[in-house]
């Protein structure tokens, strides 16, 4: 992956810039504002600072202009010396007024050699008098011929002359020039400078919008350039714009289809640019997606020889395909990529560079199955790539993407024993983990979905701040505070007292509501009823009705009952052998919660979509819900849940997962509506105490039976990987 092309392009632009300086009045800021600065800003900043003028003093006094580095300046000095020694340091348009412009240019066109003598003739032409004239086409044709000279300085200077010439605006004239250029293109190998000149012409053409009278000429040009990609020269041309913006902005659909149809045969002849065309076309829904595997096979056969800009664009364009054209990405394609990764580094490393983001998108954005040979190849490369800069990052990202799906990750742990420590070290380096199975296994604690320290930190944060208007209007705020905070406190209700005691000093009404709502959730869950009664004295009792009046009424009503609460009643219908499954932080509770998350991801329906949209870990929600035996979720737990527990869950921990899944599916319409309408303040109620009417239906019984047959064995697998982590 050399940077030879980038170096050549910088030198080309440097030469163009140097030729541009050959004027009567030198204005460095004028050149600084040109397109050249985009490519070579560091060089230009330092070079332009050598040409200060009084009216530009303010700009040039900037520190960036004062930084002169001799190594950069030395790049231009040899060019200036070479131009002066060749006699080319002359102004444009020095020919006598009596000279015939057509004769001058024809003398170059008819020449058998293209050297400094021909350049001096072209330099003498008064190009400012050629605007809108046919002679301008002759001038461009002569410059194109000189771009094919065997002498480097002649090619560079000829490109600079063509780029400095007036723009051809007449499509008839541009058609003549492009005919001449395509004729040279088809004869054989063309120079780097010729490709630069042709790219300039193609870009200018793509920016034109033809009038009705120019449509025939426009179509004629399109037919001229449509098959440019069927040439070994195309890779060099494409390096100037690997995205092919000029092609996709001016080609109509029928020509794009034609290019797409001929791209694969051309790719098989080692024309690397055609792979980019195939990727772009598939992303647009053009071309035969079933042949993508064939294209990948052809690309991987010589990917190490591709120019770096082509490799870079291939990497970028491939990244979107798993989502924009999922039908093209089949397991067979991944098989082909995985097979190449077992080859020597000179082949496997460029292949990995190009397909890294593609594989990340594939495993992150889809429910693709685990590809074990691919994972093993990646870990083997990682083990052997110590000291290499980019490779480990790409491998880590792919491994993280594979393990981002809990279903895949469980399979990874079941089927891989080698490189387990390397795998875990890669996962620990990831910035954050949303998937509970990974978090539980790589956490410092033995078994941990979260920790009381996170609850303590969240409570401390809310006690130390007042809410801003921006936070109250921001979904991220509600996700962080009105979902995560209640979740953490319900998992560790001992932290509730710190919040409730804060009610006496909280100045923000929104904080009052949030704290009282959390108090309400913990009260309805019923696990700490005595502690809640002790904290009841801290509840505000305003003489007027306010936003949290209904919440305080719910709390007072629940705590006023002398009989057993719903949780205590439900507990008598669960066998004592299941008590560990209801204890937050225990291995059994962690495994059961992970089973719920596994089911959510494996089913992949709207339940998963809602959890993702809420940025809520399914395992954490279930841990909170099952610890209270779902008492706060339904309005009639002593009727509907008791019957369900007695029939199905009395001695079966897995049945609690199926019940939790069915209840959450009941919440989907309400959660969907709240998200769509951005009613974020209603999310805590819908997630933690919706108090819905619940009576299990025959369809839900069938669903529970299906889940039991499919996932009952997963709990044992989860215990297995947790014990041997």
Q: State both tokens at 21.
A: 């300086």
- Nearest residue to 208 via CA among 168, 148, 240: 168
Residue 482's pLDDT is 64
Alpha carbons 13 and 37: distance in angstroms, whole number:
10
Number of CB atoms found within 10 A of residue 320's CB: 17
Going by C-beta distance under 8 Å and a sequence separation of 6 or more, which residues neighbour residue 40? Answer: 10, 13, 14, 17
Q: State both tokens at 695.
A: 């009576």
Alpha carbons 197 and 201: distance in angstroms, whole number:
6
> Which residues in 3-20 are b (16+ Cβ under 10 Å) and which e?
eebeeebbbbbbbbbbbb
CA pseudo-torsion sign 402, 403, 406, 408? positive
Q: State both tokens at 540.
A: 């505000």
Across the chain, which has 725 residues, the per-10-residue mean pLDDT values are 70 84 58 45 52 50 47 68 89 82 94 94 93 94 97 96 94 96 96 97 93 90 95 93 94 94 94 94 93 95 90 94 92 94 86 94 91 90 68 85 89 79 72 57 57 78 62 55 80 88 71 88 93 89 85 92 89 91 89 94 93 90 94 91 90 94 96 90 92 94 96 91 67
The SS3 call for residue 610 is helix
Residue 123's pLDDT is 94
Length of the chain: 725
Residue 429's pLDDT is 65
Residue 619's pLDDT is 92
Q: How far apart are the first and last CA of the chain?
A: 39
Q: Where are the alpha helices (DSSP H) in 21-151?
A: 28-32, 36-48, 57-60, 63-66, 70-85, 101-109, 116-124, 135-146
Alpha carbons 482 and 616: distance in angstroms, whole number:
12
Alpha carbons 79 and 89: distance in angstroms, whole number:
10
Q: Residue with structure tokens 């002169």?
A: 68
Going by C-beta distance under 8 Å and a sequence separation of 6 or more, which residues neighbour residue 295? Answer: 263, 264, 267, 275, 278
Q: State both tokens at 154.
A: 């002649």
Q: Residue with structure tokens 């000189």?
A: 146
Alpha carbons 11 and 536: distance in angstroms, whole number:
77
Residue 37's pLDDT is 44
Check if the beta carbon of residue 515 is closer than 8 Å to that of residue 500. Answer: yes
Alpha carbons 360 and 677: distance in angstroms, whole number:
32
> 692: which strand partners?
634
Q: State both tokens at 70.
A: 């001799």
CA distances from 181 to 119, 177, 215, 331 (A): 18, 6, 21, 43
């Amino acid at each position: 992956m050399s940077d030879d092309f980038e170096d050549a392009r910088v030198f080309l632009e440097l030469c163009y810039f140097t030729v541009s300086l050959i004027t009567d009045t030198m204005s460095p800021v004028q050149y600084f504002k040109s397109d050249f600065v985009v490519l070579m800003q560091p060089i230009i900043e330092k070079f332009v600072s050598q040409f200060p003028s009084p009216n530009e003093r303010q700009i040039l006094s900037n520190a960036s202009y004062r930084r002169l580095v001799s190594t950069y300046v030395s790049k231009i000095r040899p060019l200036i010396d070479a131009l002066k020694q060749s006699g080319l340091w002359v102004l444009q348009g020095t020919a006598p007024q009596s000279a015939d412009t057509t004769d001058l240019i024809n003398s170059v066109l008819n020449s058998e050699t293209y050297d400094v003598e021909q350049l001096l003739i072209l330099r003498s032409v008064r190009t400012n008098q050629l605007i809108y004239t046919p002679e301008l086409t002759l001038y461009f044709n002569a410059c194109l011929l000189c771009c094919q000279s065997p002498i480097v300085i002649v090619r560079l200077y000829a490109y600079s002359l063509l780029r400095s010439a007036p723009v051809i605006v007449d499509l008839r004239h541009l058609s003549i020039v492009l005919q001449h250029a395509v004729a040279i293109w088809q004869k054989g190998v063309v120079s780097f400078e010729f490709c630069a000149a042709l790219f300039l012409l193609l870009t200018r053409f793509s920016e034109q919008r033809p009038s009705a009278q120019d449509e025939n000429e426009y179509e004629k040009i399109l037919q001229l350039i449509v098959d440019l990609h069927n040439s070994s020269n195309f890779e060099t041309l494409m390096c100037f714009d690997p995205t092919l913006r000029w092609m996709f902005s001016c080609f109509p659909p029928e020509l794009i289809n034609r290019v797409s149809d001929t791209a694969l045969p051309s790719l098989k002849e080692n024309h690397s640019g055609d792979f980019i065309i195939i990727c772009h076309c598939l992303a647009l829904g053009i071309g035969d997606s079933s042949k993508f595997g064939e294209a990948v096979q052809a690309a991987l056969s010589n990917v190490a020889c591709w120019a770096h800009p082509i490799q870079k664009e291939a990497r970028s364009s491939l990244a979107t395909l798993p989502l924009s054209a999922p039908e093209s990405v089949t397991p067979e394609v991944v098989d082909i990529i995985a097979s190449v990764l077992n080859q020597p580094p000179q082949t496997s490393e460029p292949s990995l560079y190009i397909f890294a983001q593609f594989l990340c998108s594939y495993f992150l954005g889809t429910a693709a199955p685990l590809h074990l040979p691919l994972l093993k190849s990646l870990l083997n490369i990682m083990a052997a790539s110590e000291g290499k800069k980019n490779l480990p990052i790409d491998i880590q990202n792919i491994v993280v993407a594979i393990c981002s799906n809990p279903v895949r990750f469980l399979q990874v742990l079941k089927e891989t024993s080698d490189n387990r420590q390397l795998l875990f070290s890669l996962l620990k380096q990831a910035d954050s983990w949303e998937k509970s199975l990974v978090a539980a296994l790589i956490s410092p604690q033995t078994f941990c979905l979260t920790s009381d320290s996170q609850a303590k930190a969240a409570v401390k944060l809310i006690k130390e701040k007042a809410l801003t208007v921006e936070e109250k209007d921001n979904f991220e705020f509600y996700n962080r505070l009105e979902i995560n905070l209640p979740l953490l406190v319900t998992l560790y209700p001992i932290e509730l007292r710190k919040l409730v005691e804060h009610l006496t000093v909280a100045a923000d009404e929104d904080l009052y509501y949030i704290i009282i709502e959390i108090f309400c959730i913990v009260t309805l869950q019923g696990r700490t009823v005595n502690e809640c009664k002790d904290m009841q004295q801290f509840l505000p009792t305003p003489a007027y009705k306010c936003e949290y009046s209904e919440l305080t009424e719910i709390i007072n009503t629940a705590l006023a009952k002398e009989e057993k609460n719903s949780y205590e009643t439900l507990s008598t219908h669960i066998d004592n052998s299941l008590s560990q499954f209801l204890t937050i932080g225990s291995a059994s509770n962690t495994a059961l919660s992970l089973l719920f998350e596994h089911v959510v991801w494996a089913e992949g329906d709207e339940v998963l979509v809602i959890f993702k949209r809420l940025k809520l870990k399914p395992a954490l929600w279930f841990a909170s819900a099952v610890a209270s035996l779902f008492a706060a979720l339904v309005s009639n737990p002593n009727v509907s849940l008791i019957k369900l527990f007695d029939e199905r869950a009395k001695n079966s921990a897995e049945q609690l997962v199926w019940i939790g899944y069915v209840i959450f599916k009941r919440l989907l319409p309400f959660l969907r509506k709240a998200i769509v309408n951005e009613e974020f303040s209603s999310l805590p109620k819908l997630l933690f105490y919706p108090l819905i009417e619940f009576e299990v239906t025959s369809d839900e019984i069938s669903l529970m039976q299906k889940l039991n047959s499919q996932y009952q064995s997963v709990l044992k697998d989860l215990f297995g990987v947790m014990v041997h982590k």
